[in-house]
Amino acid sequence: EKDLMMSKQEIREEMKSMEGDPLIRQRRREAHRKLAMSQELSKVATADVVITNPTHISIAIKYDPESMPAPVVVAKGAGEIAFQIRKIANEHGIPIIERKALARQMYREVKTGQEIPFELYEVFVEIMAYVYNLTGKSMPDSK
């Protein structure tokens, strides 16, 4: 019976052959994560406003009343990703608004690519009115 038991080395080698080398799998996952993140960050440039908390969380939101029924989160992130979102927003002249509670709530509740919840419309309208006032633009009529 002991002859049929595999050694630890044999078990490791069998796992490698069945599932691939763990280091290669880790690198592949990391590459996929970086690609997904770069695609998300590229959408920040299309945002109308970035809401922050101000250092740890950033939410980039786009709203075009002509083509969208509601504002959409185009990118969101925490830590280093939040910093990158703010950096891209600054480079593209996108207003950055500090609203701690709102940023935290949206980070928890709204996925990237998802419309903001109805209960946040009123506060979003206030933010956009401020942004349009700040930039000298007039508020577009929503549908």
Domain CATH number, residue 121: 3.40.1690.10
Omega before 22 cis (within 30°)? Answer: no
99 located within any domain: yes
Range of the domain at 27: 8-135
d(CA 69, CA 63): 9
60 located within any domain: yes
- Looking at the whole model, is its pTM more than 0.85? no
Q: Give the torsion through C-alpha atoms of 97, 102, 106, 107, to 10 deg.
A: 80
The residue among 75, 80, 77 whose CA lies nearest residue 57 is: 77
Handedness of CA 42, 48, 52, 57 (dihedral sign): negative
27 located within any domain: yes
What Å distances lie between residue 70 and 22, 23, 39, 90, CA to CA?
A: 43, 43, 22, 24
pLDDT digit string, tens, across residues 4-52? 777 888 888 887 777 777 777 788 888 877 776 667 778 899 999 999 9
Share of the chain above pLDDT 90, in %: 41
| Edge-to-edge strand list for the sheet holding 57-62 | 72-78, 57-62, 49-52, 96-98
62 located within any domain: yes
88 located within any domain: yes
Point out which residues pair with 72 in neighbouring strands.
Answer: 62, 115
2 located within any domain: no
142 located within any domain: no
The total domain count for the chain is 1
d(CA 25, CA 19): 9
Indicate the average pLDDT of the chain.
Answer: 85
141 located within any domain: no
